Structure 1
């Protein structure tokens, strides 16, 4: 079976950190010792300068785009897209060779390139929080969300700045091949398989001043008790805070609300149970704290577009 081709498009000046993320994540992904992706770093020209003080000699030219199942544009200082919101004809022509049905992804300011190419029109997208206003100015038709680490819109996926590219690529790998493969790659890279919250926690703004402490200990406790009847009032009491203070601090630290965070943690546990256990779906829902099979079905469909049984069939590895 042919491997899924990932074309990583380096445009000058490319952000070197961003450029290395897709080859590291998708290049390491394997099952039973067999690579799952064919990663090709390409450009309009073979020699591309970076923002890090070194130049790159790329292995592939623009012809790699014509074979791509996924195209990823890393962060870049590419002037036509970043300053003027347009692309020159040569790049338009190269992008036009990408097969219909291919998945498009961007990391950080790579979103400026996809937007200039018309790929993001009407979409909710992410970019680095410090560049969100620039993207809105150039492309007012976009819904730019600087509060999240990434946005997965199915055939289009965009991430926030720099390390958020790891979050997006691991998420896409998990969506393609399940948690076991993604977790193995994360262990190799010595990073967390997923991070809580969004990039709002990294935006340069002061923490709320009212109330002592943080919510980290309560979050750690909640992860161990997801099957319990948890609510915001109970978590706030455990943190010795008022509900208002707890909610403000929680959002400042994680970039999301306590309720949304709990749902995300519960769905993540349900996915691990569906992949790694024989529990019936209703018992998975109970163990994950989602209550009923119907609730699990709704949340899983919203996040990954699959029913619990379809998810288990797709990602469960049968023992030999």
Structure 2
């Protein structure tokens, strides 16, 4: 076993098991590796470990060599469990295999633990999801619910955040979850820089619907993309459904239906989400007073901004700005404003 010499940065340990999905392992390494401070210093170190060091089968036609064993889990600040097509912790009794249970026993209290896709079965089998809201790939959601009835399984979201325990849906949702953790640790500017570097969308809210198969749409159906682009240029002013639908030359009813089909949210929910992101950016990157931030983001008043930010993130605008613009140790993440569940927007399904 190769010794793990950490650098003092936030340590992310990825537990790989036989049958691991290579994409999910790569997601974690690529995204956290590219998170850098303003002076270019890496903010995380990422290391993969296995239950037994050595060769690990993947679900593809190649194997991986894991140099580290489960001791790494005891030295991690964040532990991430990707899916495995061989060892998903979802046996008929819903219990963890003994080697996995022994590995989890090494994790220190207070360590942030996250799963990607069916890695949620491991967290559930370890008892970490009891009484919590969690998600997994929509194909496996019902199985997770039957096997672990104490878990509040929500198959309609991309990821959930309960503070120190997080879960995500299928592979691509793992990207959203990792960016969400980076954003929670270091703010939207750094998370957006990581997204740009890896050429992925900078933010998809955890409450956005999973892309569950639906009937094939009519050919040559119009998109609502132009209306969304137009709205982003006019977030600072009141926007009506009639104006948005007019950008696509659609009736309000048709526009609302197609918008929901494409985005997974209603137009109003999506607008609120975009305004919150705009407010977060302004709070992080400018010294504008809160009432000006509220106006530029389209909330109108500081009180409205306060209400929406509190509902979405659990913090006030001043607390958010203090967290992400205040002094920080470049070798580790800022304290998170609060442990919170990334909820589905009310009325989104």
Superposition TM-score, scaled by structure 2 size = 0.84
Runs of 4+ in structure 1 deviating by more than 6 angstroms, as ranges, are 196-199
**Are 2:273 and 1:267 equivalent residues in the alignment?**
no
Report the equivalent of 1:175. Answer: 184
Report the equivalent of 2:77. Answer: 69
Q: Following TM superposition, by how much is the alpha carbon of 1:237 offset from its aligned partner in structure 2, in angstroms? A: 3.9
**Are 2:51 and 1:44 equivalent residues in the alignment?**
yes
Structure 2 residue runs without a partner (length 5+):
1-6, 328-349
**Worse-superposed segment, 150-159 or 99-108:** 150-159
CA distance in 2, matches of 1:156, 1:97: 16
Q: Following TM superposition, by how much is the alpha carbon of 1:177 offset from its aligned partner in structure 2, in angstroms? A: 0.4
State whether residues 89 and 122 of structure 2, in contact with CA within 8 Å, keep that contact through their aligned partners in structure 1.
yes
Structure 2 CA distance for partners of 1:222 and 1:207, relative to 1, 3 Å: farther
Report the equivalent of 1:256. Answer: 265
Tell me the alpha carbon deviations over residues 289-313 of structure 1, each in whole angstroms, 9 at most, x when there is no partner.
Answer: 1122122222223333332122222
Match of 2:109 among 97, 100, 109: 100
Report the equivalent of 1:18. Answer: 24
SS at match of 2:79: strand
CA distance in 2, matches of 1:228, 1:171: 28
Tell me the alpha carbon deviations over residues 249-268 of structure 1, each in whole angstroms, 9 at most, x when there is no partner.
Answer: 11111111212111110000
Tell me the alpha carbon deviations over residues 168-192 of structure 1, each in whole angstroms, 9 at most, x when there is no partner.
Answer: 1011101100122112211221222
Structure 2 CA distance for partners of 1:282 and 1:105, relative to 1, 3 Å: same
Q: Following TM superposition, by how much is the alpha carbon of 1:80 offset from its aligned partner in structure 2, in angstroms? A: 6.0
**Are 2:35 and 1:35 equivalent residues in the alignment?**
no
State whether residues 120 and 136 of structure 2, in contact with CA within 8 Å, keep that contact through their aligned partners in structure 1.
yes
CA distance in 2, matches of 1:211, 1:187: 31
Match of 2:63 among 55, 60, 70: 55
Superposition TM-score, scaled by structure 1 size = 0.92
CA distance in 2, matches of 1:14, 1:139: 22
State whether residues 160 and 199 of structure 1, in contact with CA within 8 Å, keep that contact through their aligned partners in structure 2.
no
Which is richer in helix?
1
CA distance in 2, matches of 1:80, 1:125: 16
**Are 2:143 and 1:154 equivalent residues in the alignment?**
no
Tell me the alpha carbon deviations over residues 124-157 of structure 1, each in whole angstroms, 9 at most, x when there is no partner.
Answer: 2121122222222222332322222211222111
**Worse-superposed segment, 264-273 or 254-263:** 254-263
Structure 2 CA distance for partners of 1:236 and 1:230, relative to 1, 3 Å: same
SS at match of 1:34: coil
CA distance in 2, matches of 1:67, 1:103: 12
State whether residues 48 and 55 of structure 1, in contact with CA within 8 Å, keep that contact through their aligned partners in structure 2.
yes
State whether residues 226 and 247 of structure 2, in contact with CA within 8 Å, keep that contact through their aligned partners in structure 1.
no
Residues paired across the two proteins, number: 318
**Are 2:322 and 1:313 equivalent residues in the alignment?**
yes
Q: Following TM superposition, by how much is the alpha carbon of 1:9 offset from its aligned partner in structure 2, in angstroms? A: 0.7
RMSD: 2.3
State whether residues 198 and 254 of structure 1, in contact with CA within 8 Å, keep that contact through their aligned partners in structure 2.
no
Structure 2 CA distance for partners of 1:178 and 1:197, relative to 1, 3 Å: closer
Relative CO higher for 1 or 2, CA cutoff 8 Å, sep ≥ 6? 2
CA distance in 2, matches of 1:81, 1:119: 13
State whether residues 208 and 252 of structure 1, in contact with CA within 8 Å, keep that contact through their aligned partners in structure 2.
no
SS at match of 1:213: coil
CA distance in 2, matches of 1:197, 1:135: 19
**Are 2:299 and 1:293 equivalent residues in the alignment?**
no
State whether residues 126 and 149 of structure 1, in contact with CA within 8 Å, keep that contact through their aligned partners in structure 2.
yes
